[in-house]
Structure 1
Amino acid sequence: MANRFFEGAAHAAAYAKFRPQTPASVVDRICSFLKEKYEGSLRAAADVGCGSGQSTQILSPHFTSVTGLDVSPAQTSEAIKLNTKPNVSFVTSSAEKLPFSNNSLQLITAGQACHWFDLPVFYKEVDRVLVPGGVLALYGYLFPQPIHGDLTEKLYQIVNHMYISELNGYIHQGSKEVYLEQYGADKYKLIYDDVLEIRDDTHFVDKTTTVAELTGYISSWSGFQNFESKCGSAAAQNILEDFQNRIMSTLNVATSPEDTEICLRFKYFLLMGRKPLGP
């Protein structure tokens, strides 16, 4: 069974507020790869595990119709509320039973999501609903790296410490598989090499934010949500405050966390595979 960790309304709202927007370059690369062997019009795409819709709306200019799917009603409700594209819709659905007919989609994407799926079942569904020559694209991003002159490495280590040490024992295995680079392996590589043929690690997005918003991003981690559910809101608030205080102490500024700007760099990785054109 697929894992379900992002279903609360408050978590969905935090996810929508603090998660990064998918770089346009990622979608451009996906569409370019699709068009290399698929010559038909780009009619229909699906974004599976769409969360609050950041990774769905960006497909809108390239397809006649785009559907975002998530197993969480709270996430799809948030996505519908935030949607601004008339050709984008959202459906509550699992990744293991896609609500599409056979050979009906040119593209299926999963952004920062497929590590939660029952992959063998998901892959069978992908094969069923993709047209011949259609593409499956899986992508994600690593820890945000604060970019701040000679303090960059110190700040990054504080983020890293929060994940590996403070939340040790509360991080789900699926999340670790996204961040395998932190553990000496190669993002997604071990579990996806059997079906994916293209790998691209060149994309990133820089996001100017505040220290308070960086702390909010940490609160959207599934590991933090797990910690809070098991240890209580007071303990969760304490580790967030400690994280924020360490960041502020390292920056050594007089402004408040809400008024202290910082640049975060999200490095993306993209893996793609194509359904064969013939038997």
Structure 2
Amino acid sequence: MAHRFFEGTAHAAVYAKFRPQTPATLTDRVISFLTEKYKESLAAAADVGCGSGQSTQVLGPHFASVTGLDISEAQISEATKQNTRTNISFKVSGAEKLPFPNSSLQLVTAGQACHWFDLPKFYQEVDRVLVPGGVLALYGYLFPQPIHGDLTEKLGDIIEDMYKKELNGYIHQGSREVYLENYGAEKYQLIYDEFQEDRDDTHFVDKIASVSDLTGYITSWSGFQNFLAKNGDTAAKKILDNFQNRFMSTLNVTTAPEDTQICLRFKYFLLMGRKPFD
């Protein structure tokens, strides 16, 4: 059974606001890998575990039809609200039973999501819906790395401490597979060796954000949402305030958190496999 940690309406809105946009270079690499051997027109793709739709939108220019799927009605509502392309649609669906006919898709993607799936069932469904020569692309991103001169490492440690220490005991195994096992890439390697044909760790996206935005991003973590649900607003606000105060103190600036701009670098890892041709 798939895990369901991102279903609240407020959480979906936070997810949409603070999660990074999939880098165009990563999408281009996926399309390049697909078309290296698949020479027909690109008719249809699905983005599974799409959340609020950031990972779905980037597929729009490449396919006649793209469908974003998520188990959360709130996430699909948010994705639909944000959607500006007529060839993209969103549906509520789990990853273990995909709403497509056999051999109907050229591409299935899952961005920062497949660690929540029942993977054997997901793989079976992907094999069913992909055309021969179609591609499954799975990717994720690591903790945002503040790029700030000689403070880069110290600021990064503050984010990691929030995840590992303040939220210790509230992080589910799916998140640990991405973030806590050598920052996830090696763990993904172990999970997906059974189908992997291509691996690419070169992609990243830089996002200019305020310290307040970074704090908002932390509220989108499932671990924080679990902490909030179990401990209440006051305790949740306290750990956020402590994080933000520590971050600002390390920066040693006099501006307010909402007026203090930093560069956050999200590094991605990508694994792809192709369904054999008949």
Q: Which residue of 2 aligns with 1:202?
A: 202
Task: State the secondary structure of the residue aligned to 1:272.
Answer: strand
Q: 1:29 — aligned with what?
A: 29
**Matched AA of 2:248:** M
- For residues 175-254 of structure 1, the aligned pairs below 5 Å read 175-182=175-182, 186-254=186-254
Runs of 5+ unmatched residues, structure 2: none
Residue 151, structure 1, aligned to residue 173, structure 2: no
**What SS does the aligned partner of 1:15 have?**
helix
Counterpart amino acid of residue 68 in structure 2: G
Report deviation, 1:182: 3.3
1:185–1:263 CA distance, 2 compared to 1 (3 A): closer
- Which region of structure 1 is more displaced relative to structure 2, 179-188 or 262-271? 179-188
CA deviation digits over 1:218-242, x for unaligned, max 9?
0000000011111111111100000
**Other structure's SS at 2:5 match:** coil
In 2, Cα distance between equivalents of 1:6 and 1:204: 24
- Work out the CA distance in 2 between the residues paired with 1:269 and 1:3: 22
- The 3-state SS of whatever aligns with 1:199 is strand
**By how many angstroms is 1:180 displaced?**
4.3
Which residue matches 1:107?
107
Q: How many residue pairs get matched?
A: 278
**Using the alignment, how far apart are the partners of 2:183 and 2:56 within structure 1?**
30
Q: Which stretches of structure 1, 4 residues or more, deviate above 4 A after TM superposition? A: none
Following superposition of structure 1 onto structure 2, how do residues 1-279 of structure 1 map, counting pairs within 5 Å? 1-182=1-182, 186-278=186-278
Residue 175 of structure 1 and its aligned partner are, at CA, apart by: 0.4
- Measured against aligned partners, the alpha-carbon deviations of 1:105-128 in whole angstroms (never above 9, x if no partner) come to 000000000000000000000000
Cα deviation, residue 191, structure 1: 1.1
Instruction: Tell me how far 1:184 sits from its aligned partner.
Output: 8.4
Give the AA of the match of 2:274: R
CA distance in 2, matches of 1:141, 1:3: 19
C-alpha RMSD of matched pairs (Å)? 1.0
CA 1:183–1:103 in 2, change beyond 3 Å: closer, same or farther?
closer
Secondary structure at the residue paired with 1:182? Answer: coil
For 1:164 and 1:86, how far apart are their aligned partners in 2? 41
Unaligned runs of 5+ in 1: none
Check conservation: 2:178, 2:185, Cα contact below 8 A.
Answer: no
Secondary structure of residue in 1 paired with 2:202 = coil
Identity of aligned residues (%): 76
Distance 2:268 2:185 in 1: 15
Q: Which amino acid aligns with 1:32?
A: S
